[in-house]
Amino acid sequence: MPREKRIWYPGATYHVVSRGNRRSALFKDRSDYMIFLEYLRTVKERFPFKLHAICLMTNHFHIAIETQDESLSRIMQRILHLYASEFNNKYQYTGHLFEGRFTSRLIEDERYFLEVSRYIHLNPVKAMMVKSPEDYEYGSYRVFMSDETNSKKDKAFTAIEELVDVSRTFGCFGDNRRDEYRAFVEGEISHAEQEQLIQKDMKEDDMWMPLVPDPIRIA
Residue 151 — pLDDT band, cuts 50, 70, 90? low
Domain boundaries, the chain: 13-202
Maximum C-alpha span of the chain: 59
Which tens digit of pLDDT belongs to each residue from 36-56? 999 999 999 999 999 999 999
Q: How many whole angstroms separate alpha carbon 160 and alpha carbon 138?
A: 8
Which CATH architecture group holds 13-202?
2-Layer Sandwich (3.30)
Given a contact cutoff of 8 angstroms between Cβ atoms, the answer to whether 163 and 155 are in contact is no
User: What predicted TM-score, i.e. pTM, was given to this entire model?
Assistant: 0.87
From the number of C-beta atoms within 10 Å of its C-beta (0-12, 13-18, 19+), residue 108 rates as exposed
C-alpha 169: how far from chain center: 15
Which tens digit of pLDDT belongs to each residue from 84-116? 999 999 999 888 999 988 999 999 999 999 999
The pLDDT of residue 217 is 47
Residue 191 — pLDDT band, cuts 50, 70, 90? confident
Which tens digit of pLDDT belongs to each residue from 61-83? 999 999 999 999 999 999 999 99
Q: How many whole angstroms separate alpha carbon 128 and alpha carbon 27?
A: 18
Of the candidates 72, 132, 127, which has an alpha carbon nearest to the alpha carbon of residue 103? 72
